[in-house]
C-alpha cells in the first residue's frame, strides 16, 4: 500500500497528517457542502429570482462536489490516512470510520440524487455558465417528485453529519487536546 505522499524520507515513521491533496480536497468539499446547505435552506423564502439564482449555484456546486468526491476517493485508494493519536479512545476509532463512510456515501448520493431529480424534471443543470451537465434520466414527474423528497432527506442527514463532525473536531481540539484536528490543518 502507498505511503503518505507528504511523509519524510523513506524509513521514517508515518506522517501524522493527511496528504496535502487530501487536506485541500477535504476543505474545498466541506466548504462547498456547507455553502450548498446554506443556499438550499436560507434562500427558500427569498424572491423567486434570487432563489432561482441561488439554486443554479447550488446545482453547480453539487456537481462539483460529486466530481471532487470521486477524485478524493481515488486519491484515498492510493494514500493511507494517518494513524489516530495514541490517546484517542479505542471505541472512537470504529465510530470515526463509520462517520467517514457515511460522509462518502452522502457525498455521492446527495449530488447524484439532485442530478437525477433535475434530469427527471427536465431542468438542465448549468455548470457555472461553462457547460450544461448532460441529463442522466428520462423526464418523469413521478421520479422527479420521489427524488425531490429523497434529496431533502439526504440533505438533512448531511446537515446532521456535518454538525456532528464539526462538534467532534472541536471536542478533540479543545477538550481532549489530542492533536487530531492537526491531521487536517491546511497550514
Q: Examine the pLDDT at 49 and tell me if it is beyond 50.
A: yes
Q: Say which residue, 96 or 5, is predicted with more confidence.
A: 96
In the chain, what are the domain boundaries? 20-184
What CATH code is assigned to 20-184?
1.20.950
SS (H, E, C) the chain: CCCCCCCCCCCCCCCCCCCHHHHHHHHHHHHHHHHHHHHHHHCCCCCHHHHHHHHHHHHHHHHHHHHHHHHHHHHHHHCCCCCCCCCCCCCHHHHHHHHHHHHHHHHHHHHHHHHHHHHHCCCCEEECCCEEECCCCCCCHHHHHHHHHHHHHHHHHHHHHHHHHHHHHHHHHHHHCCCHHHHHCCC
Q: Say which residue, 180 or 61, is predicted with more confidence.
A: 61
Q: Examine the pLDDT at 13 and tell me if it is beyond 70.
A: no
For the chain, percent of residues with pLDDT exceeding 90: 81
Q: Can you tell me the distance from the alpha carbon of 2 to that of 24, in angstroms, rounded to the nearest whole number?
A: 19
For residue 14, the model assigns a pLDDT of 64
How much is the average pLDDT of 105-109? Answer: 98
Q: Classify strands 125-127 and 131-133 as parallel, antiparallel or unpaired.
A: antiparallel
Please give the model's pTM, rounded to 2 decimal places: 0.88
**Segment among 12-26, 95-109, 139-153 with least mean pLDDT:** 12-26
Q: Could you read off the pLDDT of 14-48 as tens digits, one per residue? A: 678 999 999 999 999 999 999 999 999 999 899 99
Amino acid at each position: 500500500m502507498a505511503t503518505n505522499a507528504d511523509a519524510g524520507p523513506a524509513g521514517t515513521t508515518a506522517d501524522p497528517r493527511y496528504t496535502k491533496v487530501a487536506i485541500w480536497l477535504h476543505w474545498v468539499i466541506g466548504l462547498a457542502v456547507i455553502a450548498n446547505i446554506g443556499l438550499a435552506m436560507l434562500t427558500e423564502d427569498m424572491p423567486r429570482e434570487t432563489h432561482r439564482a441561488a439554486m443554479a449555484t447550488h446545482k453547480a456546486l453539487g456537481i462539483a462536489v460529486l466530481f471532487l468526491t470521486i477524485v478524493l476517493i481515488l486519491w484515498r485508494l492510493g494514500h493511507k490516512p494517518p494513524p489516530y493519536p495514541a490517546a484517542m479512545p479505542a471505541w472512537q476509532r470504529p465510530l470515526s470510520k463509520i462517520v467517514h463512510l457515511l460522509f462518502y456515501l452522502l457525498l455521492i448520493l446527495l449530488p447524484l440524487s439532485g442530478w437525477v431529480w433535475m434530469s427527471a424534471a427536465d431542468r438542465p443543470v448549468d455548470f457555472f455558465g461553462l457547460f450544461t451537465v448532460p441529463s442522466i434520466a428520462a423526464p418523469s414527474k413521478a421520479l422527479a417528485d420521489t427524488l425531490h423528497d429523497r434529496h431533502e432527506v439526504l440533505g438533512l442527514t448531511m446537515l446532521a453529519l456535518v454538525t456532528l463532525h464539526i462538534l467532534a473536531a472541536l471536542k478533540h481540539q479543545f477538550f481532549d487536546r489530542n492533536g487530531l484536528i492537526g491531521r487536517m490543518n491546511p497550514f
